[in-house]
Amino acid sequence: TQLLEQSPQFLSIQEGENLTVYCNSSSVFSSLQWYRQEPGEGPVLLVTVVTGGEVKKLKRLTFQFGDARKDSSLHITAAQPGDTGLYLCAGDLTDSWGKLQFGAGTQVVVTP
Amino acid sequence: EAQVTQNPRYLITVTGKKLTVTCSQNMNHEYMSWYRQDPGLGLRQIYYSMNVEVTDKGDVPEGYKVSRKEKRNFPLILESPSPNQTSLYFCASSLSSGGDTEAFFGQGTRLTVV
């Protein structure tokens, strides 16, 4: 059983559409990160959120950390083909120092 | 250029033949870890190291060994590989173990055990 559940598992949209990816858990996290992974590459960090209710924006990407620090979402506005990739959330449990827990990922495909 | 380098990128081996996957980072990071990535399961931590000569088990350590004799290197050793260890492996390093610290990943090693 995954500690972090991501949904949906797969998302295929047209260029210009918006999308939201979710990351949920029953556990509380000290912090939560979002990574993007492209084929043949390792994950690359997009953002870290540490405060419950925090919202961070990175150009067309908006990240939110739930008030209870158990969930997070990633919203992409006007998606572009360059946004295609596997989006992974990763959390640091409050009582598990040194271990990042990863979700299974959401594969996003943006077609022109 | 700051990077984590893994070798080899691809490896096909037979059951029981010992192998080592090397990992090296040039960022003077204290914290290093190994993950395996399997479809539908995401990244699962195998072992991690807080510093030289300090290593500990992650979530799926069975069948793996590691060592940290130098700060920059963190090799992953499979003493007797089995087909269930066929996977995509990633080495990562970060300044510290805190979950709010950026983890830098290598490009991955795709291992097939037949």
A28 in contact with chain B, both atoms CB, cutoff 8 A = no
- Chain centroid to CA A50: how far? 14
At A15 the three-state DSSP class reads coil
Mean pLDDT (whole number) for A41-58: 94
Tell me which chain B residue has its CA closest to the CA of residue A51.
B100
Supply the DSSP string of A32-64, one letter for each residue: EEEEEE-TTS--EEEEEE-STT-EEEETTEEEE
Testing the interface with B: which of A27, A87, A100 to mutate, by most B Cβ within 10 A? A100
- Chain centroid to CA B54: how far? 15
Mean pLDDT (whole number) for A25-48: 93
Q: Is the pLDDT of residue A101 over 90?
A: no
Q: Is the pLDDT of residue A14 over 70?
A: yes
Which of B44, B50, B90 is the closest to A42 by Cβ?
A: B90
Per run of 10 residues, the mean pLDDT along chain B (length 114 residues) is: 94 97 96 94 92 92 97 97 98 86 94 98
Residues in chain B: 114
Tell me which chain A residue has its CA closest to the CA of residue B95.
A98
| Residue B108 Ramachandran class (φ > 0 left, ψ -120 to 50 alpha, else beta) | left
A39 in contact with chain B, both atoms CB, cutoff 8 A = no
Q: For the ranges A6-20, A53-67, B16-30, B94-108, which has the lowest average pLDDT?
A: B94-108
- Whole-angstrom distance, CA of residue B78 vs CA of residue B66: 9
Are A44 and A58 in contact, with CB atoms under 8 Å apart?
no
Q: For the ranges A1-10, A56-65, A78-87, B7-16, which has the lowest average pLDDT?
A: A1-10
Q: What's the confidence (pLDDT) of residue A95? A: 63
B43 in contact with chain A, both atoms CB, cutoff 8 A = yes
B84 CA: distance to closest CA in chain A (Å): 18
Q: Which position has the higher pLDDT, B103 or A99?
A: B103
Tell me which chain B residue has its CA closest to the CA of residue A38.
B107
Which of B42, B97, B106 is the closest to A103 by Cβ?
A: B42
At B91 the three-state DSSP class reads strand
